[in-house]
Amino acid sequence: MEEFFYEKELKKYPVVIVADGELPTHHAAITLLKQAEFIICCDGAVGHLETLGFTPNIIIGDGDSITPEQRKKYENIFIENKDIDYSDLHKTIHYCIEHEHFSVAVLGATGKREDHELANLSLLITYGMTINLAYFTNYGIFTPIFSQTTFNSFVGQQVSVFNFSGARVTFQGLKYPVIKRKFIYFWEGSLNESLADTFTVMLYAGKLLVYRAYF
């Protein structure tokens, strides 16, 4: 099926972070959790993992979103971090870098509060050059890129490209072609469509966020 275009990509991510956004229910999310070698959970997302029947290896957070019962149950794996400068997802990414987990998939980073969602998406650009980082939502995949990249795809797949740096970009294999164009606003690279089983985004010294819908 078209929605399984990403199957090979799932194997790239032995470490999974679960954040406290929308409950991850898509096949991609469940597969990632099943094959994960290490699961890190933001404290507010403990209920997500319990609902899905998975147990975290580490829980990280400021402690404000974990119940007393959960704190007691997971006291041996709960790392409390009260640093007010960083969100719990930010803290889990820092943990991954510090412990040399360099290929990480994040679930539950979107949904619920829109300000949290935008802040979470920006972390892909902040840390995407340090570790291999991608967000899997219930609707698609967000991937940061910093150089020419070819993506697995399928005919008709909905694709959006968001420019975080004003870099000139070129699209190959997308319905609406772009050649060395400099985007200023996020909407300018959105709502495109794949023409084949791959497409390529070329950029010239910049930072992009690429979204591929599952359908």
Q: What is the DSSP string of the chain?
A: -GGGTTHHHHTT-SEEEE-SSSPP-SHHHHHHHHH-SEEEEEGGGHHHHHHHT---SEEEE-STTS-HHHHHHTTTTEEE---TTS-HHHHHHHHHHHTT--EEEEES-SSS-HHHHHHHHHHHHHHTTTSEEEEE-SSEEEEEESS-EEEE--TT-EEEEEESS--EEEEESBSS-EEEEE--SGGGG-SEEB-SSEEEEEESS--EEEEEE--
Q: What percent of the chain has pLDDT over 70?
A: 99
pLDDT attached to residue 2: 65
The domains of the chain, with CATH numbers, are 2-139 (3.40.50.10240), 146-213 (2.60.120.320)
Q: Would the pTM count as exceeding 0.85?
A: yes
Residue range 97-116: average pLDDT? Answer: 95
> What tens digit of pLDDT does each residue of 107-136 get?
999 998 999 999 999 999 999 999 999 999
The model's confidence at residue 3, banded by pLDDT at 50, 70 and 90, is low
> What tens digit of pLDDT does each residue of 39-96 get?
999 999 999 999 999 999 999 999 888 999 999 999 999 999 999 999 999 999 999 9
